[in-house]
Amino acid sequence: MHQKLLKSAHYIELGSYQYWPVLVPRGIRLYTYEQIPVFLKDNPYITDGYRAYLPSRLCLKSLFILSNETVNIWSHLLGFFLFFTLGIYDMTSVLPSASASREDFVICSICLFCFQVCMLCSVGYHLFCCHRSEKTSRRWMALDYAGISIGILGCYVSGVFYAFYCNNYWRQVYLITVLAMILAVFFAQIHPSYLTQQWHRLRSVIFCSVSGYGVIPTIHWVWLNGGVGAAIVQEFAPRVIVMYLIAAAAFLFYISKVPERYFPEVEGKYFSEFQRRSLAMAMLWMEMVTYYSRYSSIVKPLNTNL
């Protein structure tokens, strides 16, 4: 059996690596940074393990091979299944046991649906970014950015809804403002230069601004609840702070291209996975923190009749 597997293995060249036996579907090989098309050249410090020039069928098959996108794809895919499972548990057990209202079910559904869409869009992009058509690859990139926006919207909807549960005016103001910002991001993607390298910095600024906007309703919520000394503020504020610290750390990893920047010749493929895994898991934990904050904000007020 072992000899049969070795006979079916393709020996592929991985740049600075030696020839390495990898079990891959016929027609798929990995490339170095110098060999890939220009539209895939995003990080020159990631030197090996690229998929490229693939039709859609082989892009799907590449889900099961080892490349510099493997961990990125699977971390988001597992994230989708995690939120899907949490959604079923929430709808069938948590909310009914708390005698939740119809509004609670709607908000919970919107929140988890947004997270699942975000995860699936990222899976799609990292799976099909190696498509032989640059136009197709760009479309998946646009879908990935749209998914990130939807994920951010899911965070805001649940957070603002319950933070300003007793203040309908400010709840509507912040929800409408967030929705307008997300729509503005969607319209910005229509611009032909939006997905180009020239707009890379502008894209980062846009998403940082949309994410950072959450500081404003957070400070307002702290003030409305009596300042930092209030019990409810001391319970929830640390969760929000940790969420933003994780997001900031992930963003710094992304823009600084660490650690592959300092170790370009030492197994760059695995450093690539480490860096991108940091981003994927940071986003996953951000959403998990938001989820459990939302869970507490539903159950505790219902139990205390606030």
Backbone angles phi, psi at 229, to 5 degrees: -80, -10
Residue 131 marked in a binding site: no
Tokens of 45: 């410090």
Burial of 281 (0-12, 13-18, 19+ CB in 10 A): middle
Residues 30, 19: Cα–Cα separation, whole Å: 11
- Per the CB < 8 A criterion, the answer to whether 49 and 40 are in contact is no
CA–centroid distance for 301 within its chain: 30
What are the C-alpha distances in Å from 303 to residues 90, 178, 224, 233? Answer: 17, 30, 22, 18
- Residue numbering of the annotated binding site for Zn(2+): 126
- Residue numbering of the annotated binding site: 126
